[in-house]
Amino acid sequence: MPTKTTTTLDKTFDPAAVEARHYARWEAAGAFAADVASAKPPYVIMMPPPNVTGSLHMGHALTFTLQDVLIRYHRMRGYDALWQPGMDHAGIATQMVVERQLAAEGIGLDRGKDTGTNQTRLGREAFVEKVWEWKGVSGGMIMRQLRRLGASADWSRERFTMDEGLSRAVVRVFVELHRQGLIYRDKRLVNWDPKFHTAISDLEVVQRPTPGHLWHLRYPVEGEPGRFIVVATTRPETMLGDTAVAVHPEDERYRDLVGRHAILPLVGRRIPIIADEHADPEQGSGAVKITPAHDFDDFEVGRRHGLPLINIFDADARLNENAPEPYRGLDRYVARERILAHLEAQGLVKRAEKRELMLPYGDRSGVVVEPWLTDQWYVNAAELAKAAIAAVEEGRTRFVPAQWEATFFEWMRNIQPWCISRQLWWGHRIPAWYGPDAAVFVEASEAEAAAAA
């Protein structure tokens, strides 16, 4: 008679053990592997690469589950399904993590200026080596978590955005887009992080309520002793870079002043009083100071009126050589107090109101971001958007639900130049070489740049 075998089941189900066992079996059997030589119809999803510094959150769980459903569904329908996994090098996030670890060891970065400490400092190449070391030891947690989630990606094809092949592709595409005029260098305002010394994207800026003040300042009107035009500002230190005062074209209070000049306090510079709809007659005095180099709205006003751009900050948000001598080298907030004290002494502060302000902070640095005028590299996003707009207008791409078309068109038709450069040591380097006469050569290698010079 056959021997009976009995198995005692655990009283409680242990999903961690069961899922890990099944997943290991799937991966060992190559169940997720795509076959390039297959005659089956292909179906491919490129995994949006999560940051190498990251860990899974609920958003990842949702989006990766949806992708996994589609991949498994098409695999079962007989497609050669490839879910291509990879990780993003996460430039600023990774640099921040490694910088903090080095700082804990008493090591800083040598950015070419004296820090006033005896701290050991690393140059670019040594720092990048440290990042690769960190990536080898600590990177990849999110990929382990994806396996734990059951993601059926083809792990034999896992890529990293700093892999040699991908780096070559980035350089090649950059050079080609530059030749087509779709990538260009321009001097514009960016979100400048004075702690990390880099431009950051709008998505890396968080607005936080912060106690502050609204100061009402008197600017003398040229040629009329005792007459002032009052402007309000939450950032009085930026007044040193003012190049105009704006009033609304239909504001009768200032009609006689349009075309005349005010005298910028503490500086003595003549600045024009201009008419522009940016000024709101219902807000404050109805007159606004225009600082094109330190405010995004003022930058556009300056372009409309051909105003000069006077940058008064350096990369550390200290006052630079364009500021009057008493303020040069001061931190922005120290300069603020000194400027206000000098304005008070001259009777040019009409009043100050306590306000809760929404200020822009770097989401990783935790410091207030400055709109800063600097040379950066941009993509002509408006030109690229034309094909996307046409695809929707012609019905080749559909939105479900359809009402999202309106939002799409609003975004695409008002798209701004895309700043793609960062002042970081970790990440892809812009393939640009700079000549002694300020000429810029964008080529795939230094040898090609030298040949083009």
Ordered structural domains, the chain, with CATH: 17-162 (3.40.50.620), 177-202+371-452 (no CATH), 205-369 (3.90.740.10)
Short-list 335, 299, 337, 339, CA closest to 320:
335
DSSP run (H or E) holding 120: strand 120-122
The predicted pLDDT at position 113 comes to: 66
Q: How far apart are CA 205 and CA 294, in angstroms?
A: 16
Got the DSSP string for 125-142? HHHHHHHHHHHHHHTTHH
| Token pair recorded at residue 247 | 């009033």
Residue 221: strand pairing partners: 262
Short-list 139, 144, 131, CA closest to 160:
139
CA angle, 189 then 187 then 161, to 5°: 80
| Token pair recorded at residue 101 | 């670890």
The predicted pLDDT at position 29 comes to: 94
Q: Looking at beta carbons, which pairs linking 35-43 to residues 24 or more positions away fall under 8 Å?
A: 35/80, 38/80, 40/78, 40/79, 40/80, 41/78, 41/79, 41/80, 42/79, 42/80, 42/81, 42/82, 43/71, 43/74, 43/75, 43/79, 43/80, 43/81, 43/82
- Whole-model pTM: value is 0.85
Print pLDDT tens along the chain (453 aa): 566 677 777 888 888 888 999 999 999 999 999 998 899 999 999 999 999 987 889 999 999 999 999 999 999 999 999 999 999 999 999 999 999 999 999 998 887 665 556 568 899 999 999 999 999 888 788 889 999 999 999 999 999 999 999 999 999 999 999 999 999 999 999 999 999 999 999 999 999 999 999 999 999 999 999 999 999 999 999 999 999 999 999 999 999 999 999 999 999 999 999 999 999 999 889 999 999 999 999 999 999 999 999 999 999 999 999 999 999 999 999 999 999 999 999 999 999 999 999 999 999 999 999 999 999 999 999 999 999 999 999 999 999 999 999 999 999 999 999 999 999 999 999 999 998 888 999 999 999 999 988
Q: Helix, strand or coil for residue 168?
A: helix
DSSP run (H or E) holding 81: strand 80-84
Q: How far apart are CA 199 and CA 372, in angstroms?
A: 9
Short-list 157, 163, 162, CA closest to 143:
157
Q: How far apart are CA 332 and CA 314, in angstroms?
A: 10
Residue 137, CA atoms < 13 Å, CB-side half-sphere:
7
3-state DSSP: the chain helix, strand, coil percent, rounded to 5?
Answer: 35, 25, 40
| Token pair recorded at residue 317 | 């948000």
The predicted pLDDT at position 3 comes to: 66
